[in-house]
A and B are shown apart, each in its own frame.
Chain A
Amino acid sequence: MRVTSQTLPASLTSNLQRLAQKQYQLQNETATGKKSQALEEDPRAIQRLITLQADAKSITQYQRNAESSTQKINETNTLLRSLRTLSSRASEIAIKADPIIGIEGLGNYATEIDSLLEDALAQANHEGTTGFSFSGTRSDQTPFVPSRDQDGRITSVSYQGNLSETLTDIGPEFSVSTSTIGENNTDSGPPGLFKDQRSGADFFAHLISLRDHLAAGDIESVQKSDIPAIEADEDNFLFHLSAAGSLQSRIETTQRRLSDQSFEIAAENSRLTDADLAETIVSLNQAQTAYQAALQSGAQILSSSLMDYLR
């Protein structure tokens, strides 16, 4: 090929530009740790990355939901344990009730049961950060409203909530109920905590009955009807406690799975975006060497011509 006076400068300029671009790209990758150029040239990687990052955000949200569910379950568990203690004490009093202790002693028991009843009502109307705990989705409604006699004693308790549960998504197509329904008088739907037709539980009514029987010295009714009724309430509380434990376990399993998924996504994300620093730095050194060689050889060739030898 015939080499003219424009050939060398044009070729040198073009090569220097190419090498400078290469250095810019590699330096950028070294500085950011991200293979930016590769991303620009790989649309499929970008699409994959968008999906991955959307998945990552969903998983983070599911993890937050799981944490929130755990908090709610813990809150409910505390209340359930407290109610279980109440029911155990009520059961204990019912068993201890004996004509030997006399009408005064039975009256004292009745007073204690009344106190337990007030405690139970206070627990039933517990209001957490997201509203009342046992009113279903009518979380703005006080779940249990008492009727009182002229002495201020509770004579009955009516439920103001509903049977709907609040569900929380902790995975795609996977949700859990973190709410507990206060009362269910039907044969379907979620079990009620204080009153449940299927289990025979009716904690407030049973406590009222026990109190009244104790106050009246009606030991026979206490033994024949109140003790089995309170046991049914205890069993119902136990059922809810074990259900909460089981739910807690399911959530923990899901949290581990979400954590694994999050790790896998982070790894895939890194594979798609992170630069191999060792490889990048070696390539940068090569590009620098080539650039310097091009500059040096270009300067030598361009500075000499036939005119240097013509005088």
Chain B
Amino acid sequence: MSGLYGTLQLGQRAVQTQRQGIELAGHNIANVDNPAFARQRIDVATGPTIISPDGIHATGVTTEQVQQVRNQILDTSIQQETSITSYLETKNTLLEQSKAKLGPTFLANLANGSGEQLSGIAEHLNGLFDGFQELANDVTSRSQRVALVGKAEALARDFNQVHQGITHIEAQISKELEASADDANGLLGEIARLNQSIEHAENRSSSPAHDLRDRRLAKLEELSKLANFQTSESETQTLSIHLDGETILEGANILGQFQIAIDAEGKAQAVLTTNDTQKAVTQGRMGALGSVASETLGPLAERLDQLASAIIGELNQIHQSGFGLEGSTGEPLFVGNNAATIAVNQTLIDNPDRIQASSDANAIGDNTILRALSGAARNSFATLDGQTLNEHLAGSIGSFVEELADTREQLDDQTAIQDLLQRQRNAVSGVSLDEEMTNLVKYQNAFEASARLVSVIDEMLQTVVNLGRS
């Protein structure tokens, strides 16, 4: 038996343990809406047994440790999946923005829920060929010549606008890449500082610095939204960050920087630069920005240039062989050589009589050239992979929409995966108010009971003290 003082100490330890329990329940409740927080629980154990000549003495309860409920595998999976989700979210947003920007001119209103009437390049390409036919019906008509020039100008303007639109989006992407690289480098700095704080705190205390680790995990997940990387912890629990085998950060030491590099096609890409090496960032927001610039907008601009070039080359070749109303010949219909520079020959704008519709200088009623120009709509072009102009345009629009649709589908699937993992982590680490309230009541009752024990021992001690007085 431990005697009254021993029992008093037992009561004191019990009161302290229940108070710690209440304190922890309060900490959990306070962080109920903090997504980075993992619930903590107190591990209690029976107090050490004291063996004396009088026998074996119980010492009540003791706190072994405050444990954080986390699943390392889930945390790592979420970190990796966050990179992929962020990549797809950013790509989807960029493609949607591109759709909005290029929609009426490039996508012909089709992907905007219209589908009723073509617009933009598709409409004006058809319009130009119709214009050739209209003029062929009345070759000398001044009004039809003016109308044809207008149609050609509308087509050229559409190409210019789409090109400008793509250039504008690419410029935005470059700016966002720089901003994201700055953010990523800032996060690396914060993680390095947290690593240092964790090391300090854990060196001074035997228990893990749970809240600092929570904050670091939140920063890692924030970084994973920007770029893909892997993490590892050494035996001394020093956290390192790697990208494709290159170490970016080790403990408090930052060994690399996220930077912007220009690839072979002249597009901005995010890379991780360490001493001598550069590793491409392929996932996360930065990966998506680079991917859309080089794999979507770049090829799209190239296809539009091919189309514009084919239109310029083919129609000019036919037009230049004809004769205008005044006998002029050799004038091109379009000038320029790609989507950015295509424009209607100013000579024809100034004087539509110089449209070279006839194959005979002495026969202004001849419409052979116009019919040949109109027939070019049905021609296949070697430079367009054997496609007609319309097929090539439809292919470009289709590719863009297909990429958008694929990205949206992948994002839906990825969001489901991410949600599932988040739910699983929430099920393991999330705070339940019902649980905490129950714990609160449980610890409160235990606290009151332990306090009652102290009170009883106190009364007993007073009784013992008063024994000699009576």
Contact = CB atoms under 8 A, between A and B. Distances in A.
Interface of A: 1-7, 10-11, 14, 28, 32, 34, 36-37, 39-44, 46-47, 49-51, 53-54, 57-58, 60-61, 64-65, 68, 129-131, 135-140, 162, 164, 166-169, 172-173, 175, 179, 272-273, 305-307, 310
Contact of B141 (A11, A130, A179): A130
Interface string B409-452: 10000000001001100111011111001100100000000000
Contact of B111 (A3, A39, A60): A39
B10 to A, nearest CB: 29
B137 interface: yes
B427 A5 contact: no
B137 A65 contact: yes
B363 A10 contact: no
A178 B398 CA distance: 40
B402 A43 contact: yes
Given A40-B405, A57-B130, A58-B129, A166 B367 contact: yes
Contact of A306 (B122, B398, B437): B437
A7 B401 contact: no
Nearest to B395: A47
A138 B362 contact: yes
Contacts, number: 191
Nearest to A44: B398
Nearest to A138: B363
B378 interface: yes
Contacts of B398: 43-44, 46-47, 50
Contacts of A4: 426-427, 430-432
Given A2-B432, A5-B432, A310-B437, A136 B122 contact: no
B363 A136 contact: yes
Contact of A137 (B358, B378, B395): B358
A273 B116 contact: yes
30 contacts: A1-B423, A2-B428, A5-B32, A5-B434, A6-B33, A36-B112, A40-B405, A41-B408, A44-B398, A46-B397, A46-B401, A47-B394, A47-B395, A50-B390, A50-B398, A129-B138, A131-B365, A135-B365, A137-B360, A137-B363, A138-B363, A138-B365, A139-B140, A166-B367, A167-B367, A167-B371, A169-B375, A175-B371, A273-B116, A306-B438
Interface string B383-410: 0000000110111011101101100110
Interface string B348-387: 0000000000101011111110010011011000000000
B126 interface: yes
Q: Which of A28, A47, A307 has the most CB of B within 10 A?
A: A47
B358 A5 contact: no
B294 to A, nearest CB: 21
Interface in B320-374: 358, 360, 362-368, 371, 374
B393 A50 contact: yes
Given A305-B433, A306-B438, 5 more contacts: A2-B430, A7-B427, A41-B405, A64-B137, A307-B433
Contacts of B112: 36
B13 to A, nearest CB: 27
A179 B367 CA distance: 12
The 4 A-B residue pairs whose C-beta atoms are closest, nearest first, are: A36-B113, A139-B365, A4-B430, A43-B402
B113 to A, nearest CB: 3
B222 interface: no
Contacts of A273: 115-116
Interface string B14-39: 00000000000000000011010000
Interface of B: 32-33, 35, 108, 110-118, 122, 125-127, 129-130, 133-134, 136-141, 358, 360, 362-368, 371, 374-375, 377-378, 390-391, 393-395, 397-399, 401-402, 404-405, 408-409, 419, 422-423, 426-428, 430-434, 437-438, 441
B122 A54 contact: yes
A41 B398 CA distance: 10
Nearest to B34: A6
A43 to B, nearest CB: 4
A68 B113 contact: no
Nearest to A43: B402
B162 to A, nearest CB: 15
A131 B365 CA distance: 8
B401 A68 contact: no
Q: Which of A34, A41, A307 has the most CB of B within 10 A?
A: A41
B122 A34 contact: no
A3 B138 CA distance: 78
Nearest to A41: B405
Contacts of A139: 139-140, 363-365
B399 A43 contact: yes
Contacts of B441: 310
B412 to A, nearest CB: 10
Contacts of B116: 34, 273
Nearest to A33: B116
B433 A39 contact: no
B63 to A, nearest CB: 24
A106 B404 CA distance: 89
A34 to B, nearest CB: 5
Nearest to A49: B110
B357 to A, nearest CB: 10
Contacts of A166: 139, 365-367
Nearest to A274: B115
B427 A1 contact: yes
Contacts of A10: 422-423, 426
A284 to B, nearest CB: 16
B110 A140 contact: no
Contact of A164 (B360, B375, B405): B360
B419 to A, nearest CB: 6
B287 to A, nearest CB: 24
Contact of B431 (A5, A11, A44): A5
A51 B390 contact: yes
A41 B371 CA distance: 38
Nearest to B368: A167
Contact of B423 (A7, A32, A39, A58): A7
Given A7-B423, A10-B426, A50-B390, A169 B113 contact: no
B126 A53 contact: yes
